[in-house]
Structure 1
Amino acid sequence: MKIYKQETVQHVNATVEECWAFFSNPKNLQKITPEGMGFQITDFDQKSMYPGQIIQYKVTPLLGITLSWMTLITQVKENSYFIDEQKFGPYSFWHHKHFFEATPTGTKMTDVVHYGLPLGFLGRIMNTLVVKNKLKSIFEYRVTKVDEMFNSK
């Protein structure tokens, strides 16, 4: 299986603590996800993020097809980073690291996603034609929404 990488870095005009409070709360993910993704949390224990936490979603990423997605929070270091991994969903591999670093003017946020697709050769073609660009557009949308929420004050 081929593993791909998507990385996004963004500066936020807020403290690490403010960023952490927002981004470590799964309920806020819908606010920074494009509406066309049909993103909906279907199961979440409403607790602050912790290792072992399971979050389930429905997403409609392509062609109106709704998919179930289950992520597991594997690691958490408050105000520093957290990692989520897909347990069930559209990818054969999904590992997403979220880093928060204080800067003199706010917070540097870095998202690093490693992912793999099913179907071997067909998956590689789908990544080239669709998936890579779709992920890029989702993270570009997030950058825009985060700018609107935190950087336009």
Structure 2
Amino acid sequence: MSTLILKTKINAPIEKCFDLSRSLDLHTESMKSYKEKVVGGKLTGLIDLGEQVTWQASHFAISFKMTNKITAMKKPFYFVDEMLKGPFKLLHHQHHFTAAGTFTEMTDIFAFQSPMGLIGRAVDSLFLKRYLHKLLTARNQVIKSVAELP
């Protein structure tokens, strides 16, 4: 299993950062270049505990669907989404938020594992980990830019 840890400092209240991170509409906007769209489950708005969303996306010229569920949440401090069905053997994404004065520190702990045993582990370490880091960083920059709007 591979794990990414990203920290993003945002000049905005914790509640705003928490809600923007749960926004299906903002997620869709931030992933437009990957043709991600919601095709099932909760379709718009803020996803909440116990709710599911099915995404359709295209990465590496491969189109696929992935269903995730919010399995844990303590507003506005953290939530967890886990893949129920999709291209990974395992996907577990923790979103943590810590208030620090006028700033919020947003921490992503993104654990994943590709299928196909040894071949999947090689794919993860050779390029998928870097690709997912770039993808999450870009998404976090969209959250940051929207959160810091007056």
TM-score scaled to structure 2, two decimals? 0.89
Contact 2:14/2:76 (CA < 8 Å) preserved in 1?
yes
| 1:109 maps to 2:106 | yes
Contact 1:49/1:76 (CA < 8 Å) preserved in 2?
no
Q: Distance in 1 between matches of 2:129 and 2:70?
A: 23
| 1:22 maps to 2:2 | no
Question: Cα offset for 1:38?
Answer: 1.5
Question: Cα offset for 1:151?
Answer: 4.2
Contact 2:72/2:79 (CA < 8 Å) preserved in 1?
yes
Question: Cα offset for 1:14?
Answer: 0.6
Contact 2:27/2:139 (CA < 8 Å) preserved in 1?
no
The equivalences for 1:38-53 within 5 A come to 38-45=35-42, 46=44, 48-53=46-51
Contact 1:94/1:114 (CA < 8 Å) preserved in 2?
yes
SS at match of 2:115: coil
Contact 2:17/2:143 (CA < 8 Å) preserved in 1?
no
| 1:129 maps to 2:126 | yes
Q: Distance in 1 between matches of 2:129 and 2:76?
A: 29
Question: Cα offset for 1:27?
Answer: 2.1
The RMSD of aligned alpha carbons is 1.8
Q: Distance in 2 between matches of 1:142 and 1:24?
A: 12
Contact 1:50/1:75 (CA < 8 Å) preserved in 2?
no
| 1:82 maps to 2:69 | no
Question: Cα offset for 1:32?
Answer: 2.6
TM-score scaled to structure 1, two decimals? 0.88
Cα 1:19/1:147, change in 2 over 3 Å: closer
Deviation track 1:44-103 (CA, whole Å, cap 9, x = no partner) reads 3346433221100001111x2110100011011111111000001111000000011111
Q: Distance in 1 between matches of 2:36 and 2:45?
A: 20
Residues paired across the two proteins, number: 149
Q: Which amino acid aligns with 2:37?
A: Q
Question: Cα offset for 1:37?
Answer: 1.7
Q: Which stretches of structure 1, 4 residues or longer, exceed 6 Å deviation after superposition?
A: none
Q: Which amino acid aligns with 1:139?
A: L
Question: Cα offset for 1:144?
Answer: 3.0
Flag structure 1 segments of 5+ consecutive residues without an equivalent.
none
Question: 42, 52, 55: which one pairs with 2:53?
Answer: 55
Q: Distance in 1 between matches of 2:11 and 2:130?
A: 27
Flag structure 2 segments of 5+ consecutive residues without an equivalent.
none
Q: Which residue of 2 aligns with 1:12?
A: 10
